[in-house]
């Protein structure tokens, strides 16, 4: 079946602009995760949703970052007043549920802030 | 705080040689450990996890709690094993986030 999809695949924006990144999880997966991967680093956790609610948002770096999952399926990661340091690949993953189910990753959105 | 260390950024071996990718972790509880792999132009995917005790594509990994290690091993490397490998840790117990190492790029030469 279809895997996790993310749009756009690439996004170029200017410093100070607002961006939205979208994630479509595998159908039926209740858990959804966002990670950020900077060049030369491993993925870094941002936020985890179980259903519609954010069960763990401890990885969000500051209040410019916000994510929603209003209907428990698609999620949007929103970044306000982008900074050059936000440039990275943003990865989304989903799993059937909590309790250490395998996380399946999407292809990522490559964000470049000029 | 949890931390995962992969000391080798790059690892190069010849086809047919044994390969070991090192992973050390720091966490005071009982973590769950994973190896993820990313082949060229593909997405990150799970290779194996310690609780399943499986051998996937000839790879194995044993959790050594005394040494806090979870090294990935394969006795005979193949060219198609060339990829980026990430070790990851989860605290479990309802905390689902994965903490990743920086990764090791494995190149298997013909």
pLDDT of the residue at A74: 97
pLDDT 10s digits, B24-59: 999 888 888 999 999 999 999 999 988 877 888 999
Q: Are B2 and B91 in contact (CB under 8 A)?
A: yes
| Rounded mean pLDDT, A52-68 | 94
Rg value, chain B, Cα? 13
Q: Is A112 on the interface with B (CB under 8 A)?
A: no
C-beta atoms of A35 and B92 within 8 A: no
**What does the pLDDT average to over A2-15?**
96
Q: What pLDDT score was predicted for residue A1?
A: 59
pLDDT at residue number A101: 81
Q: Which residues of B touch A (CB under 8 A)?
A: 4, 32, 43-46, 49, 51, 86, 88, 90, 92, 94-103
* B88: chain A residues, CB-CB within 8 Å: 42
Model pLDDT, residue B17: 98
* A23 and B CB contact within 8 Å: no
Query: Does the structure show a pLDDT above 80 at B6?
Result: yes
User: What digits encode the pLDDT tens for the residues A78-105?
Assistant: 999 999 999 999 999 999 987 768 899 9
**What is the percent of chain B with per-residue pLDDT over 90, rounded to a whole number?**
75
- C-alpha to C-alpha distance for A15 and B23, rounded to whole angstroms: 37
Q: What are phi and psi of B80, to 5 degrees?
A: -70, -5
Place of tokens 């340091």: A85
User: What backbone torsions phi and psi does residue A84 show, to the nearest 5 degrees?
Assistant: -60, -30
Using pLDDT thresholds of 50, 70 and 90, give the confidence band for residue B1. Answer: confident
Q: What average pLDDT score do residues B3-24 get? A: 97
Average pLDDT for B73-95: 90
Q: How many CB atoms lie within 10 A of CB B88?
A: 27
Q: Please answer yes or no on whether B96 and A102 come within 8 Å at the CB atom.
A: no
CB-nearest partner of A100 from B32, B102, B103: B32
pLDDT (0 to 100) of residue B14: 97
A101-110 pLDDT, tens digit per residue, is 889 999 999 9
**Probe site for chain B from A30, A55, A100 (most B CB atoms < 10 A):** A100
């Amino acid at each position: 079946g279809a895997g996790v999809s993310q749009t756009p695949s690439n996004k170029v924006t200017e410093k100070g602009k607002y961006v939205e990144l979208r994630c479509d999880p595998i159908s039926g997966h209740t858990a959804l995760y966002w990670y950020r991967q900077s060049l030369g680093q491993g993925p870094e956790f941002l936020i985890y949703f179980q259903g519609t609610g954010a069960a763990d948002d401890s990885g969000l770096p500051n209040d410019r970052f916000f994510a929603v999952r209003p209907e428990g399926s698609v999620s949007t990661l929103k970044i306000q007043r982008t900074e050059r340091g936000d440039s990275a690949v943003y990865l989304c993953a989903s799993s059937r549920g909590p309790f250490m189910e395998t996380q399946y990753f999407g292809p990522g959105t490559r964000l470049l802030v000029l | 705080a949890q931390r995962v260390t992969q000391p080798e950024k790059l690892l190069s071996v010849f086809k047919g040689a044994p390969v070991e990718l090192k992973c050390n972790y720091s966490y005071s509880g009982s973590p769950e450990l994973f190896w993820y792999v990313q082949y060229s132009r593909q997405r990150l995917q799970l290779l194996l996890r310690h609780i399943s005790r499986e051998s996937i594509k000839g790879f194995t990994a044993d959790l050594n709690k005394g040494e806090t290690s979870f090294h990935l091993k394969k006795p005979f490397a193949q060219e198609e094993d060339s990829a980026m490998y990430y070790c990851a840790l989860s605290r479990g117990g309802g905390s689902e986030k994965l903490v990743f190492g920086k990764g090791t790029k494995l190149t298997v030469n013909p």
